[in-house]
Amino acid sequence: MRSKCDELRGTIFNNKEDIYKKDQVIDKIKKDMKDLENSKQSSSKEIEDLKNTSGKLEMFKKKSKNLEDLYKSMVPQIQCPFGHPLHNPVTVIPCGHNYCLGCKKGYQKECSQCSGKLKIEAIYRNELMDDIIGIVGSMRQFVELTK
């Protein structure tokens, strides 16, 4: 025979079961909140990283622009008097003008820059200019790469 007491025990048992299930739900929610908090933190770190990266990119762009300006200012300095960019090997004559060695024949007797009065008696390699041409070439590659 089922007594009031048994009935009560049953109710208590059911309530305990219910509380236990609700505790589990609460634990799950706590865990989810913690995960959310963690992902929020890592997101703000990523945003911070992104800001840093974009700052660096701005700096890089600025420096690239400076290098491009420098490159553009150097190009006119490395022209052969015959109207093209100097190419290696470069020669310099006593008046101080530079020519490509390949253009040597064009100025064997006189310098096209010096009114043609000066007789050329010597030509020298201008290795410094060879190096400068190399550097300007590297600058051009860099400028094209960052376009």
Positions touching Zn ion (CB under 5 A) are: 80, 82, 95, 97, 100, 103, 111, 113-114
Please give the Cα distance from 100 to 84 (Å, whole number): 10
Q: How far is the CB of 58 from Zn ion (least distance, A)?
A: 40
C-beta of residue 114 within 8 angstroms of C-beta of residue 95: yes
Q: With residue 85 as reference, give the H or E element that holds it.
A: strand 84-85
Beta bridge partners of 80: 84
Q: How far is the CB of 45 from Zn ion (least distance, A)?
A: 57
103 or 136, CB closer to Zn ion? 103
* Pairing state between β 98-100 and 124-125: unpaired
Q: How far is the CB of 139 from Zn ion (least distance, A)?
A: 20
67 or 85, CB closer to Zn ion? 85
Instruction: Return the residue nearest Zn ion (CB atom).
Output: 80
111 or 136, CB closer to Zn ion? 111
- Cα 70 to chain center, whole Å? 18
97 or 140, CB closer to Zn ion? 97
